[in-house]
Amino acid sequence: MAATVKRDNYRQKILTEIDDLRALSDGSREGRAPVELDQQSVGRLSRMDAMQQQSMDVAREERRRQRLAVLGAALRRLDADEYGYCLACGEDILPRRLEIDPAVTLCVSCQDRR
């Protein structure tokens, strides 16, 4: 019973993070849009700043997509009853480690070897 409660807690943490990442992605959609090159309305430096900001927003979105993929894989492991085991050695991942990052795939020992 306790293991099921823990798994439900991890699932909820994962789902909450997925929701948060999707909300951030939706909120930053405008910042990732192409920068207009209309010299009449925006000066050269302002345009350069806008292009730099757009580039940073695109990079943040890519990191969000990567994290969403990792979280999705964690949900699939939960559904397959393969969650909480190190993908390298097969040993249990410490609950404290899963509390910090419920999508972690390696135990501390295997992580240290990388």
CB-CB contact of 7 with 83 (8 Å): yes
CB-CB contact of 103 with 73 (8 Å): yes
Q: What residues does each domain of the chain span?
A: 2-83, 84-114
pTM: 0.79
Q: What 3-state class would DSSP assign to 85?
A: strand
Residue 13 has pLDDT above 80, yes or no: yes
CB-CB contact of 93 with 84 (8 Å): yes
What confidence tens digit (pLDDT) does each residue in 58-79 have?
899 999 999 999 999 999 999 9
pLDDT score recorded for residue 47: 72
